[in-house]
A and B are shown apart, each in its own frame.
Chain A
Amino acid sequence: MRNLTIRTLVTVAAVATVCAGVALAQTQLDLVVVSWGGAYTASQQKAYHDPYMAANPGIKIINDDSSAEAVAKIRAMNEAGKVTWPLVDVVAADAISLCDEGLVEPVDHDAILAAAPDGTPASEDFGEMIVSECFIPQIVYSTTFGYRTDLVKVPPKTIKDVFDLRKIPGKRALEKRPIGNLEWALIADGVDPDTVYDVLETEAGVKRAFAKLDTIKDQVVWWTQGAQTPQLLADGEVVMGSTYNGRLFSLIEEKKQPVAMMWDWQMYDLDGWVIPKGGPHRKEVLKYLRFATDTQRLADQAKYISYGPARASSAPFVGKHADLGIEMAPHMPTAPANATNTFLFNYEWWADHRDELNEKFNAWLAR
Chain B
Amino acid sequence: MSLPTYAGPLERIWYYTFRTICGLIFFFLIAPLVVIVPLSFNAIPYFTFTPEMLSLDPSGYSLQWYEDFFTNPNWHGAVKNSFIIAVFATLIATTLGTIGALALSRSHMPYRSAIMAILISPMIVPLIISAAGMYFFYSKIGLASTHLGVILAHAALGTPFVVITVTATLVGFDQSLIRAAHNLGASPTVTFFRVIVPLILPGVISGALLAFITSFDEVVVILFVGSYEQRTIPWQMFSGIREQISPTILAVATLLIIVSILLLTSLELIRRRSERLRGIKPG
Contact = CB atoms under 8 A, between A and B. Distances in A.
Interface of A: 1, 3-5, 8-9, 12, 16, 19-20, 32, 34, 36-41, 62-66, 68-69, 73, 76-77, 79-80, 82, 84, 225-228, 230-231, 234-236, 255, 257
A64 B228 contact: yes
A36 B228 contact: no
Residue of B84, B136, B139, B224 with highest tally of chain A CB at under 10 A = B139
Interface stretch (B108-116, B210-218, B236-244): B236-244
B241 A225 contact: yes
26 contacts: A1-B188, A4-B189, A8-B91, A8-B95, A12-B91, A19-B84, A32-B228, A37-B239, A37-B240, A38-B243, A38-B244, A63-B228, A65-B239, A68-B242, A69-B224, A80-B139, A80-B141, A82-B139, A84-B227, A225-B241, A226-B242, A227-B244, A227-B245, A235-B47, A235-B48, A255-B45
A65 B144 contact: no
Contacts of B192: 1
B220 to A, nearest CB: 12
A283 to B, nearest CB: 22
B242 A64 contact: no
Residue of B139, B144, B227, B244 with highest tally of chain A CB at under 10 A = B244
Contact of B241 (A9, A69, A84, A227): A227
Given A4-B189, A39-B244, A227-B241, A80 B228 contact: no
A5 B95 contact: yes
A176 B144 CA distance: 29
Contact of B142 (A68, A80, A230): A80
Contacts of B227: 64, 66, 73, 84
A194 to B, nearest CB: 35
A197 to B, nearest CB: 30
B99 interface: yes
Contact of A76 (B139, B229, B242, B245): B139
Interface of B: prevailing SS: helix
B230 to A, nearest CB: 11
Given A84-B145, A225-B241, A234-B46, 14 more contacts: A4-B189, A37-B239, A66-B227, A76-B136, A76-B144, A77-B144, A79-B140, A80-B139, A225-B242, A227-B243, A227-B244, A230-B245, A231-B245, A234-B44
A69 B239 CA distance: 11
Nearest to A81: B140
A367 to B, nearest CB: 24
Contacts of B75: none
Contacts of A62: 228
Nearest to A232: B46
Contacts of A228: 245
Contacts of A19: 84
A187 to B, nearest CB: 29
Contacts of B239: 37, 65-66
Contacts of B223: 69
Contacts of B91: 8, 12
The 8 A-B pairs with the shortest beta carbon distances in the complex, nearest first, are: A38-B243, A64-B228, A38-B244, A80-B139, A37-B243, A234-B46, A225-B242, A65-B239
Nearest to B193: A1
Interface residues of B, number: 37
B142 A82 contact: yes
B135 interface: yes
A65 B222 CA distance: 14
A62 B230 CA distance: 13
Interface string B54-95: 000000000000000000000000000000100010011001
Nearest to A226: B243
B148 interface: yes
Nearest to A65: B239
A1 B189 contact: yes
Given A37-B243, A65-B239, A5 B44 contact: no
A255 B44 CA distance: 7
Interface in B3-51: 44-48
A76 B132 CA distance: 11
A5 B44 CA distance: 51
Contacts of A32: 228
Given A1-B192, A5-B95, A76-B144, A12 B244 contact: no
Contacts of A36: 243
A8 B94 CA distance: 12
Residue of B142, B147, B243 with highest tally of chain A CB at under 10 A = B243
A65 B46 contact: no
A66 B228 contact: yes
A38 to B, nearest CB: 3
B121 to A, nearest CB: 23
A79 B136 CA distance: 9
Contacts of B47: 231, 235
A11 B227 CA distance: 26
Contacts of A3: 189
A9 B229 CA distance: 24
A64 B235 CA distance: 12
Interface in B126-142: 135-136, 139-142
Contact of A5 (B48, B99, B144, B188): B99
Interface in B216-265: 223-224, 227-229, 239-245
Contacts of A73: 227
Given A225-B243, A231-B46, A76 B188 contact: no
Contacts of B139: 76-77, 79-80, 82
Nearest to A228: B245
